[in-house]
Structure 1
Amino acid sequence: MKYQNVKQKSATPFVSQSPLNLLQQDICLPAAILKHRALQHNLQWMQAFANRHGVQLAPHGKTSMTPWLFQQQLAAGAWGITVATPYQAQVAVEAGAKKLILANQLVGKANMALIASLLSQGVELYVCIDHADNATTLSAFFSGGKPALTRTFGARYAGGALRLPHNRRSHRLGTAYRHLTGA
């Protein structure tokens, strides 16, 4: 088997001098087959759309988990990559991403340590915080000499203010969010 990286278990079309052959099982299965021309068209179309509307793209990398595709998206002008887990964040950074959105809450010390390692490499990371306990845990972990989380976000609207449903849980989250020290 030929892999771009055994850890990532994804093949790239430019891995070796000889072309990879799906029918010869040169790559990990299951595999998606992409038409290069169609992919380039879609990348260019989506970036042009984003530019016309004044938005930045952070395509979701979870679906493909293909570093080569991350590189193509970034080269086409994507602002960063959206991932679901710290491991996926590590793969995206290894593929060249410097800006990430972690679409799920960051929980667990091992995951936080992995994110701290990425932050120490200069990665800009946005995380989702939707519970006061998570805000408190992140604040405690990322204070005391560890690199601070680059950015955090809750629910926001265009004016930039935190907007949550009016209930006790939301009030506790808003209060915790405002008082984060390490995050």
Structure 2
Amino acid sequence: MDHPAAHIDTAATAALREERVDWRHKAIPPAFWGRTVADVLAEAPRLSQLPTPVLSLSRVAMTHNRDVLAAWCAERGMALAPHGKTTMAPQLWAEQIDAGAWAITVANLAQLAVARAFGVSRVIVANAVVSPLALRWISDQLTEDPGLEVLVWADSARTVSLMHEALAAHSADVGPRRPIGVLVERGGANGRTGARDEDTAVAVAEAIAASPHLELAGVTGYEGALAHTPDEAALAVVHTYVDSLVSLHRRIDGLMPAGRVPVVSAGGSAYFEQVADALSPLVAGEEARVVLRSGAYLTHDDGFYRGISPLGASPRTSGPGLRSALHGWVRVSSQPEPGLALFDAGKRDLPFDEGLPEAQLLRARETGAPATPLSGVAVTALNDQHGFLRWDPAGEAPVVIGDELRLGLSHPCTAFDKWGLIPVLDDADAADPVVVDLVRTWF
């Protein structure tokens, strides 16, 4: 089945290079304030010219990850709708779309507005939308742009009723509008949202099909809320859940509007091999457009996803492994007692909800010398603006005040939101990496 890629306004993303950087961008040193992004990049600054703390992305690792998952999905006949909430960076969305992404996924109206500001032509809103204000705006967007497709979710008849009432009133006020596409969300026990049984989900589909202001578009769900480990029991739970999406699709397929290719979509960067396996009968029979909504794969990480991804440290599927493209760079600012150093980054700078950072490298103390691996140390806590690095107090201190360290990070979804402008390095393993891009985020 053909999966035509979405479109994005490349002129709008290119225009980001004309933005001026200043004190609002904590990754940028005063020496560059007042210059455009293009001017800064033209000087090819080095990592050593940036202040600490700083979050960085690796160009070589992101390019690798982008191409690996695009090829992995294509080999299995699946479409990819990367979850844009991970990065909220239209520059990176553009790369994913250029690599064939069928859509960009977002989680709410504010994120959808960013996607629309950059001309993304097909967006999945992975949530129920019940606000009349939001529904009216989406309805207007669809009517003003015939090439736009927006799919939202519903998991109850009441949700559908509220959507119908809001859109009916809006249509009465301003005239006929294009219907909004809706995916029926199937949930699982102890999961997040989603109809907990198939009969309820079928009733939701029937309610959508009965509304002239809505259009049944298919089935969706999120398996990541049902398991958090890669053991066999967790994988079985995920596979059984994704099987339920197939069953629901087959029960409601007769309600689909003529000419619409049904979508069956599951999410996640943790269990996408289970998704592909369970949904493979739909691909083989061309019964539906199977859409994967992974988001964290683009940067991967050195924590949660390294441990649980099917292409992580313990692979569960074929294909090249993903690489961490996400790092923190910090400076030791205090050594108040044996076995303890404090560095200049904390919860406001680095993710901590899915595991603390790990100390990886000591930046060279001499210009041109390679970085050296750090061992026998651990980041044990983060305060708002400080990090705690500990080692055996009876041993020799591995760091001194002023040393710069590279940290591996866990959970990209809570890393990007702390930085409005993120330097992209040519290669985070280089002695003094070159800044090759600056990525703008909207949170």
* TM-score, reference length from structure 1: 0.75
For 2:184, the equivalent position in structure 1 comes to 154
Q: CA deviation at 1:63?
A: 1.6
How far the C-alpha of 1:65 sits from its partner, in A, is: 0.7
Q: Identify the residue that residue 159 of structure 1 maps to in structure 2.
A: none
Higher strand share: 2
Which of residues 135, 141, 163 in structure 1 aligns to 2:166?
A: 141
Residue in 2 that maps onto 1:38: 61
Change (3 A) 1:174 1:77: closer
Displacement of 1:39 after TM fit?
A: 0.8
Tell me the CA shift for residue 130 of structure 1. 0.8
Deviation at 1:177, TM superposition (A): 2.4
Task: Flag the structure with larger Rg.
Answer: 2
Contact 2:179 2:213 in 1 (8 A): yes
> Quick one: which amino acid aligns to residue 118 of structure 1?
Q
In structure 2, the gaps of 5 or more residues are 1-14, 28-35, 187-194, 215-443
The aligned residue for residue 16 of structure 1 is 38
2:116 corresponds to:
93
Matched, 1:80 2:103: yes
**Residues 177, 137 of structure 1: alpha-carbon distance in 2 compared, 3 angstrom cutoff:** same
What's the secondary structure of 1:78's corresponding residue?
coil
- Partner residue of 2:207? 176
1:61 equivalent in structure 2: 84
Secondary structure of the structure 1 residue equivalent to 2:152: strand
Q: TM-score, normalised by structure 2?
A: 0.33
Superposed CA deviations along residues 40-64 of structure 1, whole A, max 9, x for unmatched, are 1111111100100000000101121
Query: Structure 1 stretches of 5 or more lacking a match?
Result: 157-162
Do the aligned partners of 1:89 and 1:100 also contact (CA within 8 Å) in 2?
yes
* Among candidates 138, 145, 155, match of residue 130 of structure 1: 155
How far apart are the structure 2 equivalents of 1:75 and 1:166? 37
Q: Residues 15 and 112 from structure 1, CA distance in 2 versus in 1: closer, same or farther, beyond 3 angstroms?
A: farther
Distance 1:133 1:62 in 2: 27
* Distance in 2 between residues matched to 1:131 and 1:87, nearest whole Å: 23
* Cα distance change on mapping 1:166 and 1:95 into 2, 3 Å: closer
CA distance in 2, matches of 1:31, 1:114: 37
Q: Name the CA shift for 1:155/1:84 in 2 (closer, same or farther; >3 Å).
A: closer
Q: Deviations over 1:56-98 (max 9, x none)?
A: 0001011211111111111111111000012211212323421
**CA-CA distance at 1:172 after TM superposition:** 4.6
Identity of aligned residues (%): 28
Deviation digits for residues 103-122 of structure 1 (CA, Å, limit 9, x no counterpart): 01012122112212331323
Work out whether 1:107 is the aligned partner of 2:149.
no
Q: What is the match of residue 165 of structure 1?
A: 197
**Which amino acid in structure 2 is aligned with residue 182 of structure 1?**
H
Q: Distance in 1 between matches of 2:89 and 2:142?
A: 22
Which has the higher mean CA deviation after the structures are superposed, 126-135 or 111-120? 111-120
